[in-house]
Chains A and B, each alone.
Chain A
Amino acid sequence: MDMFSNLALGFGVALSLQNLALCFAGCLVGTLIGVLPGVGPIATIAILLPITFGLDPTGALIMLAGIYYGAQYGGSTTAILVNIPGEATSVVTTLDGHQMAKQGRAGVALGTAAIGSFFAGCVATLFIAALGAPLTKLALLFGPAEYFSLMVMGLCFAVVLARGSILKAFCMIMVGLLLSTVGTDLETGQERMTLGFAPLADGIDFAVLAMGVFGFAEVLRNLENPEARDVVKTKIGRLLPDWNDIKQSVAPVLRGTFIGGILGILPGNGAVLGPFASYTLEKKIAKDPSRFGKGAIEGVAGPESANNAGAQTAFIPLLTLGIPPNAVMALMVGAMTIHGIIPGPQVITKNPDLFWGMIASMWIGNLMLLIINLPLVGVWVKLLQVPYRLMFPSILIFCCIGIYSVNNQPVDVAFTAMFGLFGYLLIKLGFEPAPMLLGFVLGKLMEEKLRQALIISRGSFMTFVERPISAGLLVVAVVILVVALLPSINKKRDEVFTE
Chain B
Amino acid sequence: MKRTVLGLAAALSLALAGGAHAQAYPTKPVTMIVPFAAGGPTDIIARIVGDHMSKTLGQQVVIENVAGAGGTTGITRALTAAPDGYTIAMGHLGTFSAAPATYPGLKYDPINGMQPIGMAGGTPILIVGRKNLDAADLKAFVAAVKANPDKFNEAHAGLGSVSWTTCTLFKGILGTPKLNAVAYRGTGPALNDLVSGQIDFMCDQIVSVSEQVKAGTIKAYAIASAQRSPALPNVPTTTEAGLPEYQIEAWNGIAAPKGTPKEAVDRLVDALNKALNDENTKKRLLELGTVLPTAAERTPDGFAALIKRDAAKLDPALKAAPK
Contact = CB atoms under 8 A, between A and B. Distances in A.
A57 B198 contact: no
A169 B159 CA distance: 34
A452 B185 CA distance: 11
Contacts of B259: none
A131 interface: no
Nearest to B150: A458
Contacts, number: 90
A456 B199 contact: yes
A140 interface: yes
A181 interface: no
A346 B188 contact: yes
A456 B198 contact: yes
Contacts of A140: 195-196
B292 interface: no
A198 B37 CA distance: 18
Interface in A112-170: 139-144
Interface of A: 53, 57, 139-144, 184, 186-189, 198, 201-202, 322, 337-342, 344-346, 349-350, 407-408, 444-445, 448, 451-452, 455-456, 458
Given A189-B159, A407-B66, A455-B180, 17 more contacts: A186-B159, A186-B183, A186-B185, A201-B68, A202-B68, A338-B39, A339-B39, A340-B40, A407-B67, A408-B66, A448-B183, A451-B183, A452-B183, A456-B153, A456-B180, A456-B199, A458-B180
Contacts of B40: 340
A198 B68 CA distance: 10
Nearest to B72: A201
B160 interface: yes
A201 B38 contact: no
B249 interface: no
Interface in B51-77: 64-70, 73
Contacts of B211: 349-350
B25 to A, nearest CB: 24
B64 A408 contact: yes
Contact of B37 (A187, A322, A338, A344): A338
B323 A189 contact: yes
Contact of A201 (B39, B69, B181): B69
Contacts of A201: 68-69, 73
6 contacts: A143-B198, A189-B323, A202-B73, A337-B37, A455-B180, A458-B180
Contact of A188 (B185, B186, B195, B323): B323
Contact of B185 (A142, A407, A444): A444
Nearest to B103: A189
B43 A345 contact: no
Contacts of B66: 407-408
A282 to B, nearest CB: 42
Contacts of B184: 448, 452
Nearest to A145: B198
B60 to A, nearest CB: 15
B158 interface: yes
A139 B192 CA distance: 9
A57 B39 contact: yes
A362 to B, nearest CB: 23
Contacts of A456: 153, 180, 182, 198-199
A340 B208 CA distance: 13
Interface in B91-148: 102-103
